[in-house]
């Protein structure tokens, strides 16, 4: 029996001995997951959440009848001291890993008083601490809490190894009598597939787990008539080779992003729905097939969702650059290796263990012990070590390298032959870009575009080099960090999406490479006022269509194809529109051959600006002026006729995308005088289960053609009615033209309606309705 204890805790900052008898009057009621303090989205101090905090929970326990009772904390940051019914049960280190505590001898049937004193201070004896760290850990009981009641003789854990041929091998961990029979039942979609009593067998006609069809079986293990132990099983085989990564015998190019688990205001204290949505965003909105959980272990809810949707995972032991010399620090590191593997080895999505501190120096003795421990605990998966210098010793099975050599669009990755430490092992590019080019939603269009193109430059090189098994960018989402990093406001703007999970232009560059749906995102604007000197640089369309046709108004400009010259190895290079006149040019006195030269010259002026057109640029264009007796004023008139588009003649361009000869997408762009606020909601039905539920409400300010208005700083005033609560402030700014708001469910006795109200400008208040149960 497993019972949630995540609701109705009392909480207060600090701790006094008297709290063990009675919590102070200023304590407040909270639910788990909980962060000890809600921080602003930016401009705050990491010291705000570091300290001692007290939680109290009153709970009942079923009559044990010779059974055993345990408290299970899935995650407390960082350590905690626990008291139950006046008994001191000692201090535990949790961080990113679960802690189970036997309370059989002291638990009562009614009104047990549990006091948890959390220490969220950064302990220099615990990885990643000991030096500076480029992320925040926050504090609190931030993952679910459970009461577990089991028979004295019970299955504590299972390690299930299952391959694509249907072979299944189970290693049970049993508490109590060891000489016993375990009955196993394997089911699929509620239908029994096979029952067996051996720890090793073969399942016939198995459906494999893969990226497109991640089939998950249900395995139940039972001793006598006790409650069965349940685990999800995916039958799949992985292999890392020097020439690539293989899933079920098929070579797969690993393509993904790193993820920090933190959210605005509450850090990592988010329940299942938000964790699962992050996995969905990575796979469906960003087109990834792999995620690296940098630089620690993520929530089981996130990992389970990766299993469900077919998103591969590379995990990583907590740390960042620093290796402690103290025995306590090193023991904690090796303990984290063990805890990480035992926590996550049943996830079919997991394909490698990150057993080396990210970007640390070499430490042969420490890292060889980490690798040996991983191999002993799970021989089915390789170890992976991430470094940022090429001569690093590689003790792990896979050589991970953070390649930040992309400093412009002229270079993506270094040749993997220069990675001397790889020694013939599989090579994974584990990070790239990120801090090299921080970008916000409010940045100018050229910078937002360049971030996307830098990522594509790296990805193009990754496809070029056959020795690279995959490429994982830094990173999926912007994240809060320590004062030494970020942009001076405690945010690293390194993501292809922002802190609120809203996509930057770079997100669509990613999605266009692997998405099975049509991607059609214009990452530039035809509005010349956005650019220096009112120029009109080439437009970049991130898409997976075969070709496009461009129109100005109703006039046909021309046809354009993916730019294989600039990105020869990408599955879907962007389409670059560098001619805004094309077939529209019609001057009876100018020959067709010369017309092309005039068009090229006018486009050049549009892209560079007249003041920057060089003498060299006039070589092909200048003689035409003489030939046709044209003055500079005449060229200006041609430019005004075909390109300027001011006033009533404002140019509106329409782009139509085609696949297999049929139009599949279209978009328009031009100067706009109208605007609209669009609202999208992740879910309208909120269900209180093991924890409260959450939904994300996204607001985007768009022009009349559907383009995001990145200069917008509109204010949204929020209020709610019914059993929901807004997470964070009730007044937010659409910085860069968008914002997301998280709302959580409150407890209800029956299904109840709730509403979020959004006031924007002088528009009618917008209502978002929810149903809570």
Residue among 513, 480, 476, 522 nearest 496 (CA): 476
Q: Provide the 10 A C-beta neighbour count for residue 496.
A: 29
d(CA 757, CA 449): 34
- Residue 583, Cα to own-chain centre: how many angstroms? 44
Asked whether 386 and 431 are in contact (CB, 8 A), the reply is: yes
- Residue 121, Cα to own-chain centre: how many angstroms? 26
H helices, E strands: number in the chain: 9, 48
d(CA 707, CA 702): 5
Active-site hit among 359, 450, 503, 714: 359
Active-site hit among 396, 431, 503, 735: 431
Torsion of the alpha carbons at 489, 78, 94 and 39, rounded to the nearest 10: -40
d(CA 685, CA 662): 37
Asked whether 476 and 282 are in contact (CB, 8 A), the reply is: yes
Percent helix / strand / coil, the chain, rounded to 5: 20, 35, 45
d(CA 383, CA 393): 14
**Core vs surface per residue 570-609: b (16+ CB within 10 A) or e:** bbbbbbbbbbbbbbbbeeeebeeeebeebbebbbbbbbeb
Asked whether 381 and 355 are in contact (CB, 8 A), the reply is: no
User: How do strand 183-188 and strand 217-222 relate by DSSP bridges?
Assistant: antiparallel
Terminus-to-terminus CA distance in the chain, angstroms? 23
- Residue 712, Cα to own-chain centre: how many angstroms? 25
Task: Record the tokens describing residue 573, joined without a space.
Answer: 């290079």
Helix (H) or strand (E) holding 150: strand 145-150
771 is catalytic: no
d(CA 685, CA 676): 26
User: How do strand 167-175 and strand 154-162 relate by DSSP bridges?
Assistant: antiparallel
Asked whether 150 and 70 are in contact (CB, 8 A), the reply is: yes
The DSSP symbol for 367 reads H
Helix (H) or strand (E) holding 431: strand 427-431
277 is catalytic: no
Residues contacting residue 740 through CB under 8 Å, at least 6 positions apart: 500, 501, 502, 696, 697, 698, 699
Task: Record the tokens describing residue 4, joined without a space.
Answer: 């949630």
Asked whether 17 and 703 are in contact (CB, 8 A), the reply is: no
Residues acting as catalytic residues: 359, 431
């Amino acid at each position: 029996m497993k019972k949630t204890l995540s609701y109705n805790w009392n909480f207060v900052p600090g701790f006094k001995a008297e709290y063990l008898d009675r919590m102070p009057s200023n304590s407040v009621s909270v639910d788990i997951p909980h962060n000890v303090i809600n921080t602003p989205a930016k401009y705050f101090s990491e010291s705000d959440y570091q300290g001692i905090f007290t939680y109290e929970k009153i709970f009942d326990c079923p009559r044990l009848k010779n059974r055993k009772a345990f408290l299970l904390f899935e995650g407390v940051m960082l350590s905690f001291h626990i008291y139950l019914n006046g008994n001191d049960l000692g201090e535990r280190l949790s961080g990113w890993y679960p802690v189970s505590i036997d309370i059989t001898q002291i638990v009562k049937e009614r009104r047990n008083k549990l006091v948890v004193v959390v220490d969220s201070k950064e302990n220099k004896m615990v990885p990643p601490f000991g030096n500076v760290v480029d992320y925040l850990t926050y504090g609190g009981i931030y993952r679910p809490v459970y009461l577990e009641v089991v028979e004295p003789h019970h299955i504590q854990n299972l390690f299930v190894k299952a391959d694509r041929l249907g072979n299944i091998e189970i290693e049970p961990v049993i508490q109590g009598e060891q000489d016993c029979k375990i009955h196993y039942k394997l089911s699929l979609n509620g239908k029994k597939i096979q029952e067996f009593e051996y720890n090793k067998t073969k399942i016939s006609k198995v459906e494999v787990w893969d990226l497109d069809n991640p089939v998950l079986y249900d395995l139940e293990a039972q001793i006598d008539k006790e409650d069965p132990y349940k685990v999800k099983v995916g039958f799949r085989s992985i292999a890392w080779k020097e020439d690539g990564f293989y899933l079920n015998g098929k070579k797969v190019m690993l393509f993904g992003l790193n993820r920090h688990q933190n959210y605005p205001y509450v850090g990592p204290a988010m329940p299942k729905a938000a964790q699962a949505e992050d996995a969905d965003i990575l796979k469906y909105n960003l087109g990834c097939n792999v995620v690296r959980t940098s630089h620690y272990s993520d929530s089981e809810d996130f990992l389970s969702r990766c299993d469900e949707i077919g998103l591969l995972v590379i995990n990583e032991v907590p740390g960042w650059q620093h290796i402690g010399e103290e025995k306590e620090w090193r023991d904690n590191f090796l303990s984290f290796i063990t805890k990480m593997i035992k926590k996550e080895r049943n996830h079919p999505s997991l394909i490698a263990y990150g057993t080396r501190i990210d970007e640390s120096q070499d430490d042969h003795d420490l890292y060889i012990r980490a690798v040996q421990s991983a191999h002993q605990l799970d021989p089915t998966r390789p170890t992976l070590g991430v470094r940022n210098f090429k001569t690093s010793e590689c003790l792990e099975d896979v050589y991970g390298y953070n390649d930040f050599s992309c400093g412009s669009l002229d270079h993506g990755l270094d040749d993997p032959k220069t990675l001397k430490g790889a020694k013939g092992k599989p090579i994974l590019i584990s990070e790239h870009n990120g801090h090299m080019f921080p970008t916000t939603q409010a940045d100018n269009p050229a910078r937002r575009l360049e971030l996307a193109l830098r990522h594509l430059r790296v990805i193009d090189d990754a496809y070029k080099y056959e020795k690279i098994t995959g490429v994982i960018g830094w990173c999926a989402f912007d994240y809060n960090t320590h004062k030494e990093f970020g942009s001076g406001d405690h945010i690293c703007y390194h993501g292809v999406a922002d802190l609120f999970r809203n996509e930057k232009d770079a997100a669509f560059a990613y999605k266009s490479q692997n998405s099975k749906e049509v991607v059609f995102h214009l990452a530039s604007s035809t509005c010349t006022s956005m650019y220096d000197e009112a120029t009109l640089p080439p437009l970049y369309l991130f898409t997976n269509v075969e070709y496009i046709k461009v129109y100005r108004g109703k006039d046909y400009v021309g046809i354009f194809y993916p730019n294989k010259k600039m990105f020869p190895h990408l599955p879907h290079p962007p389409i670059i529109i560098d001619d805004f006149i094309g077939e529209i040019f019609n001057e009876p006195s100018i020959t067709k051959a010369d017309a092309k030269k005039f068009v090229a010259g006018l486009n050049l002026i549009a892209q560079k600006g007249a003041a920057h057109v060089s003498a060299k640029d006039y070589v092909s264009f200048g003689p035409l002026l003489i030939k046709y007796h044209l003055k500079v004023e005449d060229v200006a008139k041609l430019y005004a006729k075909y390109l300027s588009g001011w006033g009533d003649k404002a140019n509106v361009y329409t782009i139509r995308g085609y696949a297999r000869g049929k139009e599949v997408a279209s978009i328009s762009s031009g100067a706009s005088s109208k605007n609209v606020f669009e609202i999208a909601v992740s879910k309208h039905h909120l269900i209180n289960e093991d924890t409260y539920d959450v939904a994300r409400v996204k607001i985007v300010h768009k022009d009349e053609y559907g383009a995001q208005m990145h200069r917008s700083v509109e204010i949204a005033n929020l209020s709610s009615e019914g059993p929901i609560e807004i997470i964070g402030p009730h007044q937010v700014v659409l910085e860069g033209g968008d914002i997301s708001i998280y709302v959580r469910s409150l407890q209800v006795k029956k299904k109840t309606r709730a509403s979020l109200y959004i006031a924007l400008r002088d528009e009618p208040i917008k209502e978002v309705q929810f149903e809570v149960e």
